Structure 1
Amino acid sequence: MLIDGLQCGHFDRGSFEALSRGNVSCVTVTLGFWEGAIESLDAITHWRDLVAECADLAEIVRTRQDIEDANARGKVAVVLGYQNSNLFDGRIRFVELFHELGVRVVQLTYNNQNEYGGSCYEPNDSGLSRAGLKMVREMNRVGMLIDLSHVGDRTSADAIKASHMPVAITHANPHEIIPHPRNKQRYVLDALRENNGIIGCAAYRNITGDEYCKTAEKWCEMVARTVEIVGIDHVGIGTDRSHNTTVKDLDWMRMGRWSRDIDFGAGSAKKPGKVPPADWFQDVSDLGKIPDALRTVGFNAEEARKILRDNWLRIYETVFPGERTSTA
């Protein structure tokens, strides 16, 4: 059984069936990118309806124990997340409200700078703002995991320093292995280790590279190199796999409402649209190849369990109760 720290797209019954075939015990799903509060509430209601329709396969979870209970019932545990903080509409009190609705993972910034800090694509990363510091502390307080995947390196380091709780880079890779603006510099990963956080290694071709997309074993070699950098206790899986995503969806992720011009996101003019999934990852159920591939590249059973599941469970158990509960 394994945990995938980030997937996105249009899930349906077939998505949950594929996750089950791949022995995925828990997945964090993306409910939004650029949407404000009302649209984000719509997304929650959509997911509640979807999971209700697939109640024999999936269950929305809020705690580590919920994950274990859902798995015991043979269901995929679903963690609700957003890849931007627009859902709060600049209102810090909305963090608690969305947490009460089941949201457990939120990224501080997506592809653009916002009031909280800088993005990986800004030419000048401003660092964590005053509002960003307040947001980090509020997310810590209520029990919402801070995601830094698309956040600029300087802002990421600032947020890690400010956080009283472990943080996550849910879907990225080390920059020194695959140089790309979306991947993380060594000093950020060093800070992540000290914070007791986690990086979920991505399988998205644009930030993983063709070489590590060839086979599950090659991808796990990249995971092994990530472990060498940040340590065995701080690496998990965060594939960034998308479900039923169209070019229109990709345009929304990359351009939202903020630009009239074409933006390529993690792509480029040479790779402007959808890129093929990793060669070994043609179907979501192919996640089931990872355990054997980890063993093939040299991880023992205990190390593999940490990467597959245990490191994410530790993060969830630590963060989701929030400081209110843990200090009461």
Structure 2
Amino acid sequence: MRLPAARGPITATLFDRLTRPPSSGEDRQGSSCADGGGDVLTDGDFQLALFACYELHYQGFDDVDDRWEWQPALLATRAELERRFEEALARAVPRPALPGGPRGVRRALNELVAGDDGPSLSGFLARRADRRQFREFVVHRSIYHLKEADPHTWGIPRLAGGPKAALVEIQADEYGGGRCERMHSELFRATLRGLGLDDSYGAYLGRVPGVTLAVSNVMSLFGLHRRLRGALVGHLAALEMTSSLPNRRYGDGLRRLGGGGEAVLFYDEHVQADAVHEQVAAHDLCGGFAAAHPALAGDVLYGAACALEVERRWAGHVLGRWERGDTSLVEPLDADADAASARLAATLGRPASARTGR
């Protein structure tokens, strides 16, 4: 993966620095590239800049020196971006009440999830979406699913005892129980290929809007800061508790559009796995964590609420654009369709025209 095109003054400044060696004198102090206004939860320039900073702790960029990862000036820039991001989250997400104290975390999580009134993107995809819209949905999700589980794995060394064992249990399934072909990220690559899309890591980073990047950035924010470990486990619980039914609908929608076999395996796998994971996450992980760290019990609910809020905003953006007949991406996929189909056809050894309408 290489750095995508800049989307504004923040990424223009940041990317210009990152494509040069990290030892120049101008990098001894943090940059002011984080300055600016607007809604940072949806701003593409802001979210792409923060995503790029975080990505240096994951797979990185081919055109960025790995030494940037711990360069003090870049960390100072990232800290300023994170400060603004956390402030925006605090304004958008009220901290949920925890009337039962630490012992009431599981019940509070269930009530929080049950009370979520976000738009039903999964219902639309199951019954109404056309192939173009489903492909766009998969492109949005590729930003996280190709690194699925990695942000939450940062929490393993920050936990102990039962909560640590619970997180490892969940993550082991996410990573396929040690089998590469069963890793959820690998299963999702098959979904991409089945829809004639590029399955390489970060292929669509430049095409997704800021609201999509915010979904991943919340995870990295919580995962990379020990002080936010309570929010991290709550975030994971919210994902697991809201996964089984939507993934059943996603699979149904893809089958309705002619998908099958390996293309839908990712969704079918989540229907089964996450039905178990939600119990482990709510009771053993979050309940155990709150019992061990009563002062952080409120953070668990806050992390879950943040997960639901950024998902709600993202789903609202996607459905809103589709209802107007527009693309939900920064740029439509149509220009890439023929090239992607040709690449897939070459892989399968048959003419691209033979795949039309699959």
So what's the TM-score if we normalise by structure 2? 0.25
Q: Which has the larger radius of gyration?
A: 2
- More helix by percentage: 2
Higher RCO (CA-CA < 8 Å; seq separation 6+):
2
TM-score (norm 1): 0.27
